[in-house]
Amino acid sequence: MEDQQPAAGDLTVDKATEAEATEAEATEAEPTEAEPTNAEVTEGEPTEDGATEETTDESDEAAATEAAPKEKKTKKKRTGRRLAAVFALIAALFVGSAAFAGATVQPYLAERATIEVKLKVARAAASAITTLWSYTPENMDSLADRAANYLAGDFGAQYRKFVDQIAAPNKQAKVTNSTEVTGVAVESLDGPNAVAIVYTNTTTTSPLTKNIPALKYLSYRLVMKRDDDRWKVTRMTTVTQLDVTPHL
């Protein structure tokens, strides 16, 4: 058999086929223009995500706007409560201080009132003793009447009787009696009743003794009773008696 060689036309066809194949490969190898993506197509236009974000931001802003007055109201309420608590505390402190001041002042006022009463008792006791034991021959007759202003009850009658007994002899001897109160102590005070101790220096002179003074230190206990606004003696006793008259 004879060998058959391919015809020239076949070679052409093959070449053409090869050329087409080569072009096809070249075409596939060439870069193609990228199609615009959704992102590029929608560039500059709001996306759904962006809209959602903006809506969320607006909602947050609206919520924040609504919450702001509520926060202010809450702050005002808190401030009001705090002010109310402060005022309540101040009021409590004021009431407490007033009560404390009242509790402190009350005993002080009571003590002051007691002191005032004791002073009245002491003055009345001193005046009574000075009047009872101070006299001269000239005023001896009126001694009982003067003393009556400081005496009450049976003691007034007893003292008048005593004066009547000594009046005549003392006038005859020209006796002068002078009593000076040196101190008074209120021994007790119970409502309208009081007891006072009165300390005195008494000097007695008479021409019969060449006017040499007789000196005595005497103290008396006076039982007193309030008569209206005055304190009067209802009883008197001698507590101490010391004669310091010089004897020549």
77-98 residue pLDDT tens: 667 677 777 777 787 777 766 6
* 248, part of any domain: no
pLDDT band at 13 (very low <50, low <70, confident <90, very high): very low
Q: Which of 198, 197, 207, 204 is nearest to 244 (CA)?
A: 204
Alpha-carbon distances, residue 140 vs 52, 156, 181 (angstroms) = 127, 16, 20
pLDDT band at 247 (very low <50, low <70, confident <90, very high): confident
> How far is 234 from 121, CA to CA, in rounded Å?
13
pLDDT of residue 63: 52
What would the mean pLDDT of 59-67 be, rounded to a whole number?
54
Q: CA 137, 198, 177 angle in degrees (round to 5)?
A: 15
Could you tell me which residue, 75 or 155, shows the higher pLDDT? 155
pLDDT of residue 86: 74
227: CATH: 3.10.450.230
End-to-end Cα, the chain, rounded Å: 210
> How far is 230 from 125, CA to CA, in rounded Å?
11
pLDDT of residue 16: 42
Instruction: Say what the alpha-carbon torsion angle 205, 209, 210, 215 is, to the nearest 10 degrees.
Output: -40
187 within 8 A of 208, measured Cβ to Cβ: no
* Residue 157 in this model has a pLDDT that exceeds 80: yes
> Which residue bears the tokens 């007759």?
141
Instruction: Show Cβ contacts of residue 227 under 8 Å, excluding neighbours closer than 6 positions.
Output: 152
* 28, part of any domain: no
Indicate the DSSP class of residue 210. T
pLDDT tens, residue by residue, 225-237: 999 999 999 999 9
- In this structure, the strands spanning 230-243 and 214-227 are antiparallel
pLDDT of residue 107: 77
Tokens of 66: 């609504």
**Which residue spans within the chain are E strands per DSSP?**
176-190, 193-205, 214-227, 230-243
What is the three-class DSSP state of 92?
A: helix
* 24, part of any domain: no
pTM over 0.85: no
* 161, part of any domain: yes
Quote the number of domains for the chain. 1
pLDDT tens, residue by residue, 101-151: 666 667 777 888 999 999 999 999 999 999 999 999 999 999 999 999 999
* 165, part of any domain: yes
| Ramachandran area for residue 165 (φ above 0: left; ψ -120 to 50: alpha; else beta) | alpha
* 4, part of any domain: no
Give the Cβ contact number of residue 100 at 10 Å: 10
Domain extent, residue 180, equals 113-243
Could you tell me which residue, 88 or 193, shows the higher pLDDT? 193
* 126, part of any domain: yes
pLDDT band at 26 (very low <50, low <70, confident <90, very high): very low
Tokens of 17: 């086929």
* 144, part of any domain: yes
Could you tell me which residue, 147 or 47, shows the higher pLDDT? 147
pLDDT tens, residue by residue, 195-214: 999 999 999 999 998 999 99
What would the mean pLDDT of 177-188 be, rounded to a whole number?
97
